[in-house]
Amino acid sequence: MQSQDVQVKPSHEKSNDWKVIANLLPYLWTFKGRVILALSCLIAAKVANLGVPILLKTLVDLMSVPPGLQTLIVVPVALIIAYGLLRLSASLFTELRELIFSRVTESAVRTVALQVFEHLHALSLRFHLSRQTGGMTRDIERGTRGIQSLISYSLYSILPTIVELGLVLGYFVWAYNYLFALITLIALVLYVIFTIVVTEWRTKYRKKMNELDSKAHQRAVDALINFETVKYFGNEEYETKRYDENLRCFREAAIQSQRSLAILNLGQQTIIATGLILILWQATIGVSNGSMTLGDLVLVNVLMIQLYIPLNFLGVIYREIKQALIDMDRMFKLLGTDREIADQDGAPDLVIKNQALGPHIQFRDVSFSYERNRQILKGIDFEVLPGKTTAVVGHSGAGKSTLARLLFRFYDVTKGSIEFDQQNIQAVTQKSVRACIGIVPQDTVLFNDTIAYNIAYGRPGASQDEIETTAKAAQIHDFITSLPDGYHSAVGERGLKLSGGEKQRVAIARTLLKNPSFLIFDEATSALDSETERAIQKELMALAQNRSTLIIAHRLSTIIYADQILVMDDGCIIERGTHDELLSLGGRYSDMWQAQQSQTKLIS
């Protein structure tokens, strides 16, 4: 049996194999009863497997002497029946072992995958912005598959082979002489050493293959996710060339790996063949001098074949286990990644004093920077009163959208505090803070599912009537019902089947369905036409009257009704007041208003 090439996941740090196994064991030991029972079945199967050639030896020896009536009929029939029953019991115990342990394996995979998934959602926005989704999902996929591979190959191949080797060596010493056991052991040790040394030498080729595989996958996913951008610039051929460049390099690495694999296979088969020759030569000498029978020769040959068949796969098994450990190490490192934004131990839930009006929100001397040498917010102080609307305006890069990210605790402030009803949001649970906030972002990204699913995402479990009610309020119900599949229409990857305005209206409906006590509109109507914008603006104004509201806006005409308008520049609040107050000041807001009014007149 020829070894087969496999890929080993690259790792920039040396994987701690025993640490990875230690991380996995608690998930398996949860089912310790099943583990012990499966191991018992494994030993029973190997004992039965050893008994099969021993019975065959007895049968061969019996048929080699002149048979009497009893020997000819009764004994061979009994031995043949026993032979068949032993083979059956070996298979039975093997299947029982796999059946019993399957729940352990699948439960461990499910538990680990679920924990990684939950942990990734708990990580900060900074982590996700710095990672490529394609490569990260591949790490998780390989890690969960690695658990299955490690358990499968260790329990179903390595451990059974070790048990069988111990039984065979013990039988050789007991039934014959130590030379049989010594030759078998030396051949096995040489085989294992050769396999490990050559496999480690080949690792650089397999690492390179995996690096190129992941890179090609990341580029393909990135290009497909940005499908529209590729089309805008007509760069299909450019993206194809980039992808093919990685595939070509992967091909060269795969060819090198295959060459080294041929060396490994040839060396393994040479060691196995040499061991078999020496064992059979010893057995043949024993038969010729009368110390062994013909049945002993058959027994030795069958035992060696039974032992060496799984050894033929040792190279593949070793590489698979090595790969599994490296892949699991990458996944467990994801699980061990610092959450950065974490709840304090025993943190209580946020309590909103007046759900009808919403919370009293205060920014107290808030400073923040994404990077140490680039400060975004500088000593921000303002408040959003319950039931009142505060608008924030300013040029791009002034720090407006950062306010929304801090309110959601995607990041923590570097100085100062943000308080909801006099409760620092860093002292309460993130889940409770986010539960009371609803946001309509400027860049709406939808799930690749139906329109109904995307609207209902604001409150999973909402009824169809509730979904349709919010869709009507968001001025999108008529459009949805005009579609052939209505609310069951698929929106496509990231909602690409819908226009920008349609996506934004779905986002508004989703937020309306959530019915939060605090609303954030981040350029909520920027992608809408003027008529639809005015219609939705009325709905948003009516909604904002009953809730604390923060509006991040570019078009000043959408926020003239706000109770307070903040003008930001370079991370600072430079003006504040109502629309009329700011116009009378004749400052930055007044200049922005005049510029936008002039632009509107030119367009009209």
How confident is the model over 356-408, as pLDDT tens digits?
788 899 999 999 888 777 788 888 999 998 888 899 998 877 788 888 889 98
254-280: average pLDDT: 82
**Poorest-confidence range of 1-5, 185-189, 371-375, 563-567?**
1-5
Instruction: Output the pLDDT for position 564.
Output: 92
How confident is the model over 158-216, as pLDDT tens digits?
778 788 788 888 888 887 878 888 888 888 888 888 888 887 787 777 777 777 777 77
DSSP secondary structure letter of residue 350: P
**Poorest-confidence range of 35-49, 446-460, 577-591?**
35-49
Contacts of 602 (CB under 8 A, 6+ apart): none
Instruction: Output the pLDDT for position 363.
Output: 92
- The answer to whether the beta carbons of residues 357 and 548 sit under 8 Å apart is yes
Give residue 252's pLDDT band: very low, low, confident or very high (50, 70, 90): confident
Task: Output the average pLDDT for the chain.
Answer: 79
How confident is the model over 400-419, as pLDDT tens digits?
888 888 998 888 888 899 99
The residue among 458 and 216 whose pLDDT is bigger is 458
Work out the number of other CB atoms within 10 angstroms of the CB of residue 499. 13
281-288: average pLDDT: 82
How confident is the model over 61-73, as pLDDT tens digits?
666 655 544 445 5
The residue among 359 and 310 whose pLDDT is bigger is 359
Q: Does residue 228 register a pLDDT over 80?
A: no
Which H or E run contains 418?
strand 415-420
Instruction: Output the pLDDT for position 424.
Output: 92
For residue 154, which of 317, 323, 329 has the smallest C-alpha distance? 317
Which tokens is 39 given?
């191991």
Instruction: Output the pLDDT for position 602.
Output: 57
Q: Is the dihedral of CA 571, 577, 583, 584 positive or negative?
A: negative
Give the DSSP letter string of 450-477.
BHHHHHHTTSTT--HHHHHHHHHHTT-H
Domain ranges of the chain: 17-335, 358-436+549-604
The residue among 50 and 451 whose pLDDT is bigger is 451
**Poorest-confidence range of 122-126, 154-158, 294-298, 421-425?**
122-126
Instruction: Output the pLDDT for position 126.
Output: 63
Asked if domains 17-335 and 358-436+549-604 share a fold, the reply is no
Which tokens is 340 given?
């950065």
Angle of CA points 68, 73, 77, to nearest 5°: 135
Instruction: Output the pLDDT for position 6.
Output: 35
341-357: average pLDDT: 83
Cα separation, 528 vs 425, in Å, equals 33
- The answer to whether the beta carbons of residues 222 and 134 sit under 8 Å apart is yes
SS3 339: coil
- The answer to whether the beta carbons of residues 520 and 438 sit under 8 Å apart is yes
Q: Does domain 358-436+549-604 have CATH number 3.40.50.10490?
A: no
Give residue 527's pLDDT band: very low, low, confident or very high (50, 70, 90): low
422-436: average pLDDT: 89
Cα separation, 358 vs 143, in Å, equals 44
The residue among 527 and 311 whose pLDDT is bigger is 311
CATH number, span 17-335: 1.20.1560.10
